[in-house]
Structure 1
Amino acid sequence: MVKKELDIAYFISFCIEQYKVHISANGNEVMDLFDKYRVTEYLSDNFEILHTQSRQWLLEEIDDFIQQKKEEIV
């Protein structure tokens, strides 16, 4: 179980780093965004499926997830 938790942590870290570049933000801005819209939980909960996808697909998935959460708030 510990290995899976490490794999998830590395995956989330990878997503944060890639998303930072994707939206031209710094790490704190991405973390604030991920916290606000619960992206980290989504990535962790769906690790088994998401970690097999391409970088570009993941970035689009995160964009879509955040947009969906924004629409739910309105």
Structure 2
Amino acid sequence: MDKDYKDQAYFISFCIEQYKNEKGLTGEEAMQLFNKYNVLDYLYEHFDVLHTQSKQWLLADIDEYINIRKNEEQ
């Protein structure tokens, strides 16, 4: 497993863990939400920029991303 892949996997798992803790979700609930709105793809595709941001900024960005996807459903 190359270093870039490990870094991305660690970052994505960090985001999932922080998001679930912030929102009071179980891991399964967080993953259902992330899968429904393709958050994992977003985090992976924009890793280069996102991994440099603070935890608070990341959580707000994930919320914004999810809300945009929810509004697109309507």
Q: Hey, what does 1:55 align to over in structure 2?
A: 55
Q: Residue 42 of structure 1 aligns with which residue?
A: 42
TM-fit CA distance, 1:53: 0.1
Q: CA deviation at 1:41?
A: 0.3
- Structure 1 vs Structure 2 CA RMSD: 1.0
TM-score, length of structure 1 as denominator length: 0.97
Measured in 2, the distance between the counterparts of 1:43 and 1:18 equals 14
Q: Percent identity?
A: 54
SS class of match (2:25): coil
- Following superposition, the deviation at residue 33 of structure 1 comes to 0.3
Which 5+ residue runs of structure 1 have no aligned equivalent?
Answer: none
Q: Shift of the alpha carbon at 1:2?
A: 1.4
TM superposition outliers: structure 1 runs of 4+ over 2 Å:
none
Q: Runs of 5+ in structure 2 lacking a partner?
A: none
Residues 14-66 of structure 1, C-alpha deviation per residue, up to 9 Å, x if partnerless?
00000001110010000000000000000000000000000000000000000
Equivalent pairs, count: 74
